[in-house]
Amino acid sequence: MIARVRDLTYRYPAAAADAAAGLSLDVARGEIVLVHGPSGGGKTTLLRALAGLVPHFHGGRFGGSVVVDGLDTRHHDVAVIARRAGIAFQDAESQVLYRSVLRDVSFGLANHGVSRQELEPRARAALAAVAAGALAGRTTDTLSGGELQRVALAGVLAPGPSLLLLDEPSAQLDDAGASLLAAVLRRLADAGTAIVVAEHRTDRYAGVADRVVGIGDATEAPEWPMRPAGTIGPTRLELHGLAGGRGGRAVFAGVDLTVGAGEIVAIRGSNGAGKSTLLRLIAGLDAPAAGVILLEGRDVTGAAAEDRYPGIALVPQDPGRYLLCARVVDEVRSGGPAAEDALTALDLDRLRERHPRDLSAGERERVAIATALAADPAVLLLDEPTRGMDPRRRAALAALLGDRAAAGRSIVVATHDRQLIAMCRARSVALGAAA
């Protein structure tokens, strides 16, 4: 047995309730355990406890016991536990430290005392294992969310931990990338690595996981009717001949798109196709290499992001980077006058006093969306908004977006989530090679 959790109970600092209550789990060597449950139900806390981050890094109140490879996590430093357990976080962005992809993947190896001569070959091998070998010469600021997720995973794999802890590892991967990840995990497990995966997309691990364990209220969402087809109003957003990229690297060119009032448009494409880049151009965070952007007939191509807001509001793929306040309620109020309505719409009232960074990825996503909704934007841009959301929350988000569209607002969503697209009755637009 590589890991044993007994009666784990944990409460984050200033939280009103336990994030985990009485959790117990055994993990054998060579086993893939898939953990599912609602957003905020304790999945991330369980992984943090297995990595020793709870309670040593996060503080709070800890009860029960967690033993990893014979080490009781209460009595050993995180650095010692890290030699046995490697963790890939929900937000891959927070795990990347260096601008160079190869150097970033090598970082964990260096910390484990690997010789300088071995660093690059082992880092390249780890990247190849997750089909990211071609990214070795890239810089992290030019990567898509899915590509960044692969790089973060390679960094955790490279030192060869006995226990691999993965938090929503396929959340930003296209279907091909998710299938490859599942196959990689099975090969690692067959070679003796124990793997615990916290996921909402359990279908992506069919035939791969050895066990599926539910924690919290681990029920699936009820059948949710697709929203009625609405009436599309006059054109609100227009893109003509748009071209762009990141870090001096061209990603796409010649993009034309119109979005009407009351319309939901889903942008689909493989990892690296430019979905996030397209939304950043529309929001004014990056400047296009060519083309024109019109908002309700007004040319905003050269306008700064703050001059497009609140007409256009973007919730990026990594919203945790942009949550600045110490309380959820203050964060959402910073968005605009409709904060109270947004808190209620995203079911955040019970989290009002929590620190956003103590929340799960799905909860942080909802805070970021609520902050954008508080401004009541005419055009709402969402980049992979269901990352970290359980099926019930995903269905609730689809209903909310439908209500926004029915009220005449326009929504553009970059997503791999086919279920969300279907529930929203979104018009699907492929960018590059569709995923």
Give the pLDDT score at 226: 56
Is the pLDDT confidence value at 228 over 70? no
What lies within 8 Å, CB to CB, of 350 at 6+ separation is 16
pLDDT range class, residue 177, cuts 50, 70, 90 = confident
Give the pLDDT score at 76: 93
**Is this prediction's pTM over 0.75?**
no
Is the pLDDT confidence value at 417 over 70? yes
Closest CA to 329 of 311, 314, 318, 344: 344
Write down the number of H helices and E strands in the chain.
14, 18
Distance, in Å, from the CA atom of 118 to the CA atom of 232, rounded to the nearest integer, reads 59
Pairing of the two strands 32-36 and 20-27: unpaired
Rg (CA), the chain: 22
**Contact (Cβ atoms closer than 8 angstroms) between residue 18 and residue 9:** yes
Q: What is the mean pLDDT of the chain?
A: 89
**Contact (Cβ atoms closer than 8 angstroms) between residue 107 and residue 156:** no
Give the pLDDT score at 434: 44
Q: What is the pLDDT of residues 123-167, one digit of tens each?
A: 999 999 888 899 999 998 888 888 888 899 899 999 989 999 999
Give the pLDDT score at 221: 46
Is the pLDDT confidence value at 31 over 80? yes
Share of the chain above pLDDT 90, in %: 59
Q: Going from the N-terminus, what domains does the chain have, and what CATH number goes with each? A: 3-214 (3.40.50.300), 235-430 (3.40.50.300)
Average pLDDT of 213-238? Answer: 71
**Contact (Cβ atoms closer than 8 angstroms) between residue 365 and residue 319:** yes
- Residue 261 or 431, more confident: 261
Q: What is the pLDDT of residues 275-308, one digit of tens each?
A: 999 999 999 999 999 999 999 999 999 999 999 9
Share of the chain above pLDDT 70, in %: 96
Most confident residue range from 192-201, 355-364, 385-394: 192-201
